[in-house]
A and B are shown apart, each in its own frame.
Chain A
Amino acid sequence: MRVLLDLERCQGHNRCYALAPEIFDVDDYGIAVLLDDGEVPPGLEDKAMLAIANCPEFAISLADSTNAGTAS
């Protein structure tokens, strides 16, 4: 599983970093940063979905499975 981050949308609400720090970090301005290029460590799929569902700006999405292979 892999997540995508739309930096045009991210406004630094910090929900993803609070809910899934294994997948997201934040920079010095509080803007989200993908760890490991958004690759979700095995077993943390639920946390990834939680981060997606709690982003007020809809900045996070699931990479679709057909792209996930080629992008990694």
Chain B
Amino acid sequence: MTSIYGPVTDWATDFDHAEPEYNENAPALWAELRETCPVAHTDRYNGTWLPVTHELVTQIAYDTEHFTSRSVIVSPFEQLAPAPIGGAPPITSDPPFHHDARRLLLPAFAPKKIEQWEPDVRTLCKGLLAELGDADVIDAAAQYAQHIPVNVIALMLGFPVEDADIFFGFVHDVIEGINVELEQRMQAFIRLDDYVDRQVREHVENPRDDLTTFLLNSTIFGEPLGLEHVRGSIVLLLIAGIDTTWSAISSSLLHLATHPEDRERLVADPSLIPTAIEEFLRAYAPVTMARMVKEDVEIGGCPMKVDDWVLLPFPAANVDPAAFDRADEVLIDRAENRHLAFGLGIHRCIGSNLARLELRVAIEEFLAHYPRFELATDKVTWSVGQIRGPRTVPVRIR
């Protein structure tokens, strides 16, 4: 793969979220920027801002007047689907279209609907653990966490579970293939669209009880959804649901593999797991979103111009001491936790109930199966780009 940008020379004025160093060192970098330069900038990707304080991230997340969601991954980019719909509605949509596109999907991801998936998720987790066999060291990220969300979203969409490796390829191309030539990035989207179109055609011929058929039968403003809309929403669900949850589960297991007192406490009292999960989501939030500037605006003293990118690092906001007591500590019994892991405002992660379910069940089952485990490496590999999580978490289980 050919990179378009070289190594970073200065993280305040020439940062690159697609350099592996970014995710490796993110917490230290955010802390340093908070003190010295709370809005970093880079000329890369035609100009990108990175505000790191809770106050500014919140302000921008709520400001749909000056910022558009028409593209949410800072990358070489060609606008094929303009605002207010964007390429993957509703995440790429702006008001007022956004409201109806989101309302269409909300019921499928509402709490009481998602609760019904718990037995499937639990069976899946138990099955993955049973397959790990009797090795001394297993990879909690690559052999366990990675496989949970991909299987669940394939079930929900009615896509072949055997295609999991193809989905990982798409996720890698879309989310990690950022620092590449535009042509290469567009090719990746064509492959993804072609795959989804094939699945959609198959559902037109054989409708069944899944989200793909649901979208095909849905209407918006009194008309059936266009195929572009169906495809875009499926692309969103496929891409957004996999890497994010996988990263959250992996980060949580990495924490437990390196903090035996927390692991022992959760094994002794699993009823604390839901509270602990909120703290893992705060401290290790995987998702940084992005906006584009729609109207010139000054934020934190910085002149943001039309078509500039703005990263919204919710993980950085979550560790800002101005917003959280003992922000840099992981307190698994933190009772008050108004974290932003799933964003704020009209674009709150639509899959948050599903992500929480998968995260909770994944941790419950892992701890039940392996009450004792510890990290078996001193070098963890991190993802690249706006979704941050450890890609390998080798743990010694006996």
Write the residues of chain A forming the contact surface with B, with a CB cutoff of 8 angstroms: 11-14, 17-18, 26-30, 50, 53-58
How far is A14 from B351 in the complex, measured between Cα atoms in Å? 11
The stretch that binds A, out of B90-98, B146-154, B337-345, is B337-345
Binds A, one of B73-81, B108-116, B202-210, B386-394: B108-116
- The complex places the Cα of A42 from the Cα of B278 at a distance, in Å, of 27
> Which of A11, A30, A50 has a CB less than 8 Å from the CB of B345?
A11
Q: Does B268 contact A (CB under 8 A)?
A: no
> A14 contacts B112, CB within 8 Å?
no
Report which B residues bind A (CB closer than 8 A): 103, 106-107, 109-112, 274, 278, 335-340, 342, 344-346, 348, 352-353
Contact partner of A26 (CB less than 8 A), chosen from B112, B278, B340, is B112
Sorted from nearest, which 6 A-B pairs have the closest CB atoms? Answer: A30-B110, A53-B336, A11-B348, A29-B106, A14-B111, A28-B107
Contact in complex: B110, A29 (CB < 8 Å)? yes
Residue of A whose beta carbon sits closest to that of B345:
A11
Q: A30, B106: Cβ atoms under 8 Å?
A: yes
Residue from the set B110, B337, B340, B346 with the largest chain A CB neighbour count within 10 Å? B110
User: With the chains together, A30 CA to B352 CA distance in Å?
Assistant: 11
B112→A55 contact, CB < 8 A: no
B107 & A56 in contact (Cβ 8 Å cutoff): no
Q: A54 touching B346 by the CB < 8 A rule?
A: no
Question: Closest CB of chain B to A9's CB: distance in Å?
Answer: 9
* Contacting pair A56 B340 (CB below 8 A): yes
Is the Cβ of A11 less than 8 Å from the Cβ of B111?
Answer: no
Could you give 10 example pairs across A and B, Cβ below 8 Å? A11-B345, A12-B110, A13-B342, A14-B111, A28-B106, A29-B103, A30-B106, A30-B107, A30-B110, A53-B336
Q: A28-B110, A29-B103, A30-B110 are in contact. Are A12 and B335 (CB under 8 A)?
A: no
